[in-house]
Amino acid sequence: MASLADRPFVKMNGLGNEIVVLDLRDGPMPVPPEEARALARPDVLPFDQIMALYPAAVPGIDAYVRIINADGSEAGACGNGTRCIALYEYGRTGRAHIRFESIAGLLDCNVSSSGITVDMGPPRFGWADIPLAGPVADTRALDIQAGPAEAPALAHPAVVNVGNPHAVFFVPDAAAVDLGRYGPELERHPAFPDRANISVAQVLSPDHILLKVWERGAGLTRACGSAACATAVCAARLGLTCRRVTVTLPGGDLTIDWREADDHILMTGPAELEFSGRLTPDMLGVTA
């Protein structure tokens, strides 16, 4: 497989969710998983996701995007990363309305002075859509848990697919949960054949949720846009909140609006451009 050596990159973040943008439209190539893992090393260019841009297949779409986690696995959605590439494309073209295509569908973005809004599409709650290992009638409360059997630390998550799989545990006190301890086993729980992103959510009011996330293929992150979307729709589906909420993550706030008219999830928040550079063989773990 060809190497990414000598390709330009842009380092960005969405509320501290660490993003690397690789614009591969001039020379499309897959992202080698082993090079992604090498690049993500703490002393190289630590990131949570790579957003790789490819030529769009249809007119009117700015790019096709593929999302690679720090462990080299591929994801179907990345809300914070999508805001980052929307800002990147706005900087390149000056156009505020940007459209991406992804494996999970169309991502309609709008860049404005009040933030970047991404239409993440509709949630999918069916067990096979998540996916789960077998039929489950009620995906509002999956029969799994973590921690001591007699007093589980986390139990009965709501599950949803928002382009990628999420399990959301609602708890009375999110700060009291050691997600770093339970995240790894829950991410790889047998109930999730494609693994899952794991959220711990505390409902503060009908329009405000506190959230922390263990991301599939990346671990604890400062923010996770798709988890904020997943948590907002699961909370509304359970009657815990209204359909428009502020989600407060360790890195900051996102506004999520689960639109009644078409069931689409709109996520609004910031993105930040940090620096750019060029990838070297050393950064990619490639022997020259």
Ligand X SMILES: N[C@H](CCC[C@H](N)C(=O)O)C(=O)O
- Summarize the annotated binding site as residue ranges: 17, 49, 69, 79-80, 164, 197, 215-216, 225-226
Establish if 248 lies at the interface with ligand X (CB under 6 A): no
Least CB distance from residue 276 to ligand X, whole Å? 20
Establish if 164 lies at the interface with ligand X (CB under 6 A): yes
Determine the length of the chain. Answer: 288
* CA 40 centroid distance within chain: 17
Establish if 198 lies at the interface with ligand X (CB under 6 A): no
Establish if 78 lies at the interface with ligand X (CB under 6 A): yes
**What are the backbone dihedrals phi and psi of residue 268, each rounded to the nearest 5 degrees, phi first?**
-125, 135
Establish if 216 lies at the interface with ligand X (CB under 6 A): yes
Token pair 């630590």 is at which residue? 46
Identify the active-site residue in 84, 109, 224, 234.
Answer: 224
Indicate which single residue of 72, 157, 225, 269 sits in contact with ligand X (rule: CB under 6 A): 225
Residues 54-73 that bind ligand X (CB under 6 A): 69
Indicate which single residue of 132, 215, 232, 283 sits in contact with ligand X (rule: CB under 6 A): 215
Indicate which single residue of 13, 102, 161, 226 sits in contact with ligand X (rule: CB under 6 A): 226
Least CB distance from residue 281 to ligand X, whole Å? 27
Residues touching ligand X, count (CB under 6 A)? 20
Sign of the CA dihedral 179, 185, 191, 194? positive
Burial of 12 (0-12, 13-18, 19+ CB in 10 A): buried
Establish if 49 lies at the interface with ligand X (CB under 6 A): yes
> Any idea what DSSP says for residue 174?
G
Establish if 284 lies at the interface with ligand X (CB under 6 A): no
Is there a contact between 50 and 22 (Cβ–Cβ < 8 Å)?
A: yes
Instruction: Identify the CA nearest to 217 among candidates 240, 235, 198.
Output: 198
Cα end-to-end span (Å), the chain: 15
Token pair 């009638």 is at which residue? 137
Site residues for ligand X per CB under 6 A: 17, 48-49, 69, 75, 77-81, 164, 197, 215-218, 221, 224-226
